[in-house]
């Protein structure tokens, strides 16, 4: 009886701990795809949304990608994400200063650099270059947002850019510039370094981790009782 109570106590402790894990813990996970390759997808475990790497659609126009979103298309099952959904992705990546130009011009902030670089590593980069010792890495892409400017249909492009090795009075620094209200460009034109923010909702399988712990501890607790009989 004591062993059984101890096992149940441990089970409850572990279950509560699992259920109360911080959303920041492993919220974004890189996963493979049979069609697009190793690490081609990023699963947001907090929203159950799966994002296609922007490097896959880099250099394709909005219209070209849109034509492949149907049932028989290359990107079947995906859709263009809204700027608000991209914003949520940036939040899940723990980027603290979104849509903030920062204090160093339009380089963003030092605090953005590390989490933004991690997200760029997961989903890209869609563009990368090194100029005069400064390494620039970026994920930039079309969203679902249409903007009308002087009669022209333009597509809004959220982006995350990190500049590593920027020379300052305090020595080399890294800056992360992260915007969901980025520039807008023509949907019919392909652009170097620009991909598409494509997303789909993923069904999460059951049982959960807490239940798996429960099954294991139930078996451990039952063993001594069977042996006693």
Q: Is residue 63 part of a domain?
A: yes
Q: Is residue 18 part of a domain?
A: no
Number of domains in the chain: 1
Element (H, E) at 87: helix 83-92
Mean pLDDT of the 190-216 span: 71
pTM attached to this predicted model: 0.78
State the residue range of the domain holding 123: 24-223
Q: Is residue 47 part of a domain?
A: yes
How do residues 73-104 score in pLDDT, each as one tens digit? 999 999 999 999 999 999 999 999 999 888 76
Q: Concatenated DSSP letters for 174-194? A: EEEEEESS--EE-TT---TT-
Q: Is residue 169 part of a domain?
A: yes
Portion of the chain with pLDDT greater than 90, in percent: 66
pLDDT given at position 1: 54
Q: Is residue 15 part of a domain?
A: no
Token pair of 57 as six digits: 């659609």
Q: Is residue 65 part of a domain?
A: yes
Q: Is residue 180 part of a domain?
A: yes
Q: What is the length of the chain?
A: 229
Q: Is residue 14 part of a domain?
A: no
Handedness of CA 44, 196, 40, 138 (dihedral sign): negative
């Amino acid at each position: 009886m004591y062993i059984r109570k101890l096992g149940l106590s441990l089970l409850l402790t572990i279950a509560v701990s699992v259920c109360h894990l911080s959303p920041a813990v492993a919220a974004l996970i890189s996963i493979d795809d049979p069609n697009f390759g190793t690490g081609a997808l990023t699963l947001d475990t907090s929203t159950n949304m799966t994002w296609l790497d922007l490097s896959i659609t880099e250099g394709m126009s909005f219209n070209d990608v849109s034509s492949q979103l149907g049932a028989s298309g290359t990107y079947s099952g995906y859709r263009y994400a809204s700027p608000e959904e991209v914003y949520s992705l940036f939040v899940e990546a723990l980027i603290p200063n979104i849509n903030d130009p920062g204090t160093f011009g339009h380089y963003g902030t030092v605090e953005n650099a590390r989490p933004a670089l991690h997200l760029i590593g997961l989903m890209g980069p869609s563009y990368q270059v090194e100029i005069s010792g400064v390494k620039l890495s970026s994920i930039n892409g079309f969203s679902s947002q249409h903007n009308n400017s002087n009669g022209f249909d333009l597509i809004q492009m959220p982006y995350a850019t990190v500049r590593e090795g920027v020379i300052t009075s305090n020595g080399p620094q890294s800056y992360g510039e992260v915007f969901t209200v980025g520039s807008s460009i023509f949907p019919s034109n392909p652009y170097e370094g620009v991909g598409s923010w494509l997303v789909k909702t993923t069904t999460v399988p059951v049982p959960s981790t807490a239940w798996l712990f429960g099954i294991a501890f139930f078996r451990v607790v039952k063993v001594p009782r069977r042996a006693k009989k």
